[in-house]
Amino acid sequence: MIDVVFGYDVEDVYNPASDDALLQICRIHAEEGVPASMFVAAEKARCMRERGRRDVLDALAEHEICYHGNYWGDFPEPATRYGVRLPFDQAVEMALHVEARGLHDVAEIAGQFPVAWCCHQAQQSLPMQYAMKLAGVRCWAGGPRGWVMNWLSWPRSNCTVSSQGEWNMEADPLNPDAVKPPAHPQADLRVAQEAFERVAERQPFISFVGHPVCWVTREWGGLWSYATLFRYGSAGRYPRPRITTPAKPRTPEDSAAAYEHLRLLLRWIKTRTDVNLTTYAALCERDEELGQQWVSWEQLVSLARRMTQDLDAIVDYGTSFSPADVCGMLIFAVQYCHHHNRWPEQVPVQRVLGPTEEPMPGVAVTADRRSIFAGCLAAYAIMMDDRRLPGKLRASRVDVGPAQLLHLAAGLVLRYEETGAIPEQVSIDAVPVLPGVVETPVITDRRFGSTNMPADFDHEPLWNLLRWQAWSYRPAVPGNSR
């Protein structure tokens, strides 16, 4: 069964006609009985309220509300840029400062707190994503399918099909008043069907994506000014220059044909017996987990053995475990032993982040028992304060990264299981620094590009943060807590 979500980026603030397009799209979905997920930019919501479009807002409120950022065209600084410029925690604070207000504006104006978040113009970074989780958004509609940073997510950039029909933002500057002929709904439907089949061959999740403004304009005028507005990577201080380039409208006949295409597309998708037409709220209800889970000592021993053999996510015991989870549970068990002079019978699952700093190389190391206990005590304090694994740590007499600490703590536990005694020291060979998933499409299919960045902008720091969070990736296990 293929999960299918119809998502719309409700963002254009420069073309009032896009309000009418949104109203029509909301009505078509309601009439056809197909759920829609509306990714609303707070700036757009505020504009519709300012224009007095209660009719549009009432129609919008009948569908699922998601979040598309506080600003669309006139935001003060892209998250991509401050995600590189600032240390992780400061970037998270910056994101909360900018976005929490937008979240609550959307919630107030649309009548629902947003369920999911996805970025616009690729304005994303790991700090912003973590900030959205902290702000209470249930899931990320632009990450890997599964859990990352203990946040449920579904992909977007690598599994989309357009619901807009024939549309592009190219214009002929020598013939600016050229009239676009009416679209061909049946031909556009065939294109969408073929695109759906191609994506369905490789993805169990498909997102139909559209932008309401595209049903009423034949070019996206404001985008031509982005290169000027963001030539330094930031729009500048308030008041910022506005992008006011008018867009060329589609003819009424052309727009009518585009709406007809959408209606045909919805009617066709309903005939597919292999499709689950759903929303992000429904996906969360299916895949979310209980707030606190526990494993037995025997289960922890099994997880430690398997994780040290293959550093990657494990699916078992009705859930899944990231390498960070297992490392965190081993750290908990060792510090528990230190404080209580015995191993725990039950261990709470630690859903922690991976490191937010470059992990130490996983070179071979020998550590005595004191150093391993000291390292786990220090790592546990970091986990409790920051809910993450350290990238590097002084463990009394030896420096270690998360991979080494996992193997050393597992060495204590596994040796105790074999001999009944805690060993005096543990030696490990060189170990992988990052989980195996880092080389798969789960990580490599993400993107950070943007038209709003200055020339030669270095995206590598953003990729590094994502790679390090491969430690926190694990698959979703549908229905495991319901």
Tell me how far apart the alpha carbons of residues 307 and 324 are, in angstroms, rounded to a whole number.
Answer: 10
Q: Tell whether the model's pLDDT for residue 428 goes beyond 50.
A: yes
Check if the beta carbon of residue 409 is closer than 8 Å to that of residue 330: yes
Is 83 a residue whose pLDDT tops 50? yes
- pLDDT of residue 448 exceeding 80, the answer is no
- For residue 54, with 0-12 CB atoms within 10 Å meaning exposed, 13-18 middle and 19 or more buried, which class applies? exposed
Q: Is 35 helix (H, G, I), strand (E, B) or coil?
A: coil
Ramachandran region, residue 247 (left: φ > 0; alpha: ψ -120 to 50; beta: rest)? beta
Can you tell me the mean pLDDT for 23-49? 97
Are the C-beta atoms of 355 and 402 separated by less than 8 Å? yes
- Whether the predicted pLDDT of 202 surpasses 80: yes
pLDDT digits (tens, 9 = 90+) for 109-158: 999 999 999 987 767 789 999 999 999 999 999 888 999 999 999 998 78
| Stretch 460-478: mean pLDDT | 95
Residue 71 has pLDDT above 90, yes or no: no
pLDDT, tens only, 186-200 = 999 999 999 999 999
SS3 of 246, please? Answer: coil
Instruction: Pick the closest to residue 303 from 314, 292, 319 (CA basis).
Output: 314
Contacts of 379 (CB under 8 A, 6+ apart): 331, 389, 390, 393, 405
Question: In this predicted model, what pLDDT tens digit does every residue of 240-299 receive, in sequence order?
Answer: 555 556 678 889 999 999 999 999 999 999 999 999 999 999 999 999 998 889 999 999
pLDDT computed for residue 123 by the predictor: 73
User: The whole model's pTM is what?
Assistant: 0.92
Domains of the chain, CATH where assigned: 2-287 (3.20.20.370), 294-439 (no CATH)
Model confidence at 354, pLDDT cuts 50, 70, 90, reads very high
Average pLDDT over residues 52-70: 96
Can you tell me the distance from the alpha carbon of 223 to that of 206, in angstroms, rounded to the nearest whole number? 27
Where residue 238 falls among pLDDT bands split at 50, 70, 90? Answer: low
